[in-house]
Amino acid sequence: MVSALIEREQASSAFPVRNGVFIAVVGPSGAGKDTIMAYARERFVSEDSVEFVRRVITRPSDGATEDHDTLAEAAFIEAEARGAFALSWEAHGLRYGIPACVDATIADGRVAIANASRGAIPALRARYENVAVVEITARPEILAERLSARGRESREEVLARLARASAVELSGAGVSTIDNSGEKEIAGERLVAIIRKAIAFADVGRF
């Protein structure tokens, strides 16, 4: 009986994971999240205190955008049931997962950065003590132009996607917005500055 109580207490105290900072990068399709994150990744390539998280998605990697690990849907569901993900969600008919090893990254006092979903923010804040949310966006006409240039969706589908992206408002502490309507270096340096702030505050309290 005593051991069962101890196990329950340990389980309840495991979250939120403290020490490090999780930076969730969100924003509408066409905002250039992958481009800006790639820019920042190059700036921190030699720093052990920062980890750019490789997500798992039920979509083949096209090599042109995010470099992610791919699982078929059935394999993803099986991995999810095994506890392979710290966080998982569904969007646009796909499944997305953040590997469970990120918990150790945060517990070690490091900074983890991942492309995330607006709807996943509450779960992230419940799992990690220090969460910074970075919204990368651009002017509506630029978003529409970028999405149309991909040739994957009709104009109506593009407008519907943009409407869905703006339906969930971001609130709470640690939320920053980066406008990527111009040169990628401008937005990239803003993300770099946010990451450096997270490194500095990783061990001294809430971001």
Extract the annotated binding site: 27-34
| Residues of each annotated binding site for ATP | 27-34
SS3 127: helix
Cβ neighbours around 197 below 10 Å, total: 16
Residues 16 and 58: beta-carbon distance below 8 Å: no
